[in-house]
Amino acid sequence: MKNTDAYFDPYEEHGMLKEGQFRNLSGCAVAGVIDRSGGVMSGEGMIEAISVMHDRSNGLGGGFAGYGIYPHYKEFYAFHLFYDGKDAQSETEAFIGRHFEIVYSSEIQTRKLPAVTDEPLIFRYFLAPLPQKLARSHLDEREYVARCVNRVNAQIEGAHVFSSGKNMGIFKGVGYPEDIGRFYRLEEYAGYAWTCHGRYPTNTPGWWGGAHPFGLLDFSVVHNGEISSYDANRRYIEMFGYQCTLHTDTEVITYIVDYLIRRRGLTLEETAHVVAASFWSTIAEKEESTRRQETLLRRMFPSLLVTGPFSIILGYTGGLMALGDRLKLRSTVCAEKGDIAYIASEESAIRKISPDLDKVFSPAGGEPVIYELYDREAVQ
């Protein structure tokens, strides 16, 4: 009997197939690009790149993050929200109004596509914390904003803040990533950096909030892999006020990054050596100063070691970081052409938008590759 399920059984009609005769659709797709000179690019290039890796996702999630896309509102926090209905929107807007000045708000413009259905209400707000509220909170501004995001996501049913940084925005949903990009009309946006993701969920259902990227403030994470340390990581990070309401490993990685960099003051390289820490035997063979530093990081943050196969791209104001697990169980390719740097799951995705490259390489497991603007102060 012919298989009509959504998940194709490669053995049903042809018997046991060998390697090379069937493509195992088990890996998500990630990609990123940054113009280190600060030049801007539309989202069209990332749509083209991710479309090459169409078979790495299954239509249950796609998304993009763009940096530098809101220059006229760059001083304000840009909140992107999903609402299940008007009641959730009214409750959330009342909460926002009690904690922020709403500089501008609107529905995010989209285009109707047959491939993208059942979309929620999608709105955007440019916000500034109310000075009196901020002063009474005794928090710094970014912590104040982060707590407001967590409160909406944990306490207001039917509302979800999925983007909350300055001069950046996340756009995601249920569908193939190239369709999601066109749904959000990303060819009409211009930014100095973009990341994107095609999802193939293995443990969670496909829904709009569960698509990648995951974000908090200006951090965004796209991820290909399977985090076996999820419960240990989640239990630890929730001790510091984070609430993992989405029950997915990528959400936890996003909070780990925020905790280590923003709250503990670690550098990107130090964060990488916590998340993808080397084996003790490997650390023992390193030069003394490096050995002492990595030993200290492993002992300080043992519960934030992320185990299992993964490849992530971290976006932040002024840069991108690629990082893979220490055993290199998920592919990552980096490339450069002049001022522009690329990261992707497959080299073919990069060559789709930049065929003639100056440099192509695959990073070592557990070693971060960091690309930043030459003048980061220009976007602070």
Q: Which residues are catalytic?
A: 28
DSSP, collapsed to helix, strand or coil, labels residue 25 as coil
Q: Among all chains, which residue has been given the structure tokens 């922020």?
A: 100
User: Residue 147 is encoded by which pair of tokens?
Assistant: 């707590």
Distance CA 231, CA 376 (A): 36
What's the gap between Cα 225 and its chain centre? 13
Sheet-wide strand order for 100-107: 100-107, 121-129, 77-83, 159-163
Helix (H) or strand (E) holding 190: strand 190-191
**Cis peptide leading into residue 213 (ω within 30°):** yes
Q: Render 206-272 in DSSP notation, one character per residue.
A: --GGGSSPEEETTEEEEEEE--TTHHHHHHHHGGGT----S--HHHHHHHHHHIIIIIT---HHHHH
